[in-house]
Amino acid sequence: MTGANLSKTRFLDRTTPPHIATLVLAAGLAAMSMNIFLPSLASMAEHFGTSYAVMQFAVSGYLAGTAAIQIAIGPLSDLFGRRPVLIGGIVLLLLGTLICTFAPNVTVFMLGRLMQTGVVAGIVLSRAIVRDMVPLDEAASMIGYVTMGMSLVPMVAPTLGGVLDDLYGWQASFMAMFIAGLAVLLLVWRDLGETNTAQSANVAEQFRSWPQLLRSRRFWGYTLTATFSSGVFFSFLGGAPFVGSVIFRLSPSALGLYFFTMAAGYMLGNYFSGRYARRFGIGPMMLSGNIVNVIGIGMAFVLVALGAGHPFAFFGPLSLIGIGNGLTLPSANAGMVSVRPHLAGSASGLGGAITLGGGAALSVVAGSVLTPETGTVPLLAVMGLTAVVALAATEYVRWIDRREGALTGDDGR
């Protein structure tokens, strides 16, 4: 499809491309599944009679599961189309959510969490659908607007989860997720018209196309930028619940409110991406976002060194990470799926798998280095190193652009 097809979009007409609101909510449902229960991790560990480190696998294991399933989601959507794969992913989420809600032990709960990973199709395919609908020049801008809208969900979800935990227990968060999943499933069924008009012949053809992506220096540059930039955030997810509940002794609802600042920053950064990516280009947007990440982490280090003991001294500066990711990720993702436009689904799935696999590893590392005695410094060190690597990956892509010309969406240099 081309950008001209956008004018043919009709809401709740599944014979036309989807409305942007549908993409926002499908991607937002995946974000909700990732973070609504974070303020409840400590109480969930107590409920199942296990340690916080085991319960934290609900975050890192989920990220690893989403990384694995993305390897299949991209090629399957290039073969069968975006619509059936996205609907199937949401159905998996609903089944997994029911299992989590009524799990008799932590093992069954974790199996339900792995089933929930199907909903990552909402994030993977929203990027591929955007690339189906519009050319590269507009893709970063539109992905920015989609992600800006999506970021409303992680702004509200941890706060909602914390309040529901205080009122009704941690299971209430999963029931809220189930209700939201049903609503999004109905919306996708009614509104999402197929956008993949050049479907592949078979799955084997898709997997044989991977060397085209893996040989592309630009693909690796964009993917590593996304991996380590979002890795800063995933490190935060791995350690922040421990910091809030153990070091600062915050209640679930109070911790949820501090997560709100990070998500608010993410929404603001995505707004700037939507507004300015087309004007300045994806390279400068990625660079500015990674610089903002480094500044936020540096400010948190300074406050720790000065002995600031209030929770906002930790969570406040790190809200800049939300802004930084909002500036960086839409452009990195647009570049990733534009290296080989005819392989947009595979590129989104493979790149997303690498991104979330790295995020899962960094989440585990961040959670493992924290103790009540060490305070927040080890977590900030992991986040700071990750931010520097992300900045280096962005400079690598910009170096290729200076040598070989900017990406047009038709090459893979």
pLDDT tens track for 99-115: 999 999 999 999 999 99
Judged by average pLDDT, the poorest of 29-38, 112-121, 130-139, 162-171 is 130-139
How many of the other CB atoms lie within 10 Å of CB of 291? 16
Coil, strand or helix at 296: helix
List domains and CATH numbers for the chain. Answer: 16-404 (1.20.1250.20)
Q: Is the dihedral of CA 38, 63, 31, 101 positive or negative?
A: negative
The span from the CA of 84 to the CA of 91, in Å, is: 11
Give 307-365 pLDDT, tens digit per residue.
Answer: 887 888 899 899 899 899 989 988 898 888 777 766 666 777 778 778 878 877 888 88
Please write the tens of the pLDDT for every residue from 141-188.
777 777 766 667 766 788 888 889 989 999 999 999 999 999 999 999
Task: Answer whether 71's CB lies under 8 Å from 345's CB.
Answer: no
Query: Is the pLDDT score of 403 beyond 90?
Result: no
pLDDT category of residue 203 using cuts at 50, 70 and 90: low
State both tokens at 351.
Answer: 């790149």
Average pLDDT, the chain: 84
What tokens does 330 get?
Answer: 């839409």
Q: Are 18 and 150 within 8 A, CB to CB?
A: no
| pLDDT band (50, 70, 90) for residue 407 | low
Alpha helix locations (H) across 171-251? 171-191, 203-208, 210-214, 217-242
Supply the pLDDT for residue 393.
Answer: 95
Task: Report the candidate in 110, 132, 6 with the shortest Cα–Cα distance to residue 58.
Answer: 110
Instruction: Determine the residue type at 97.
Output: T
69-79 residue pLDDT tens: 877 887 788 77
d(CA 36, CA 226): 23
Q: Which of 51, 94, 79, 355 is nearest to 230 (CA)?
A: 355
Q: What is the pLDDT of residue 411?
A: 46
Residues in the chain, overall count:
413
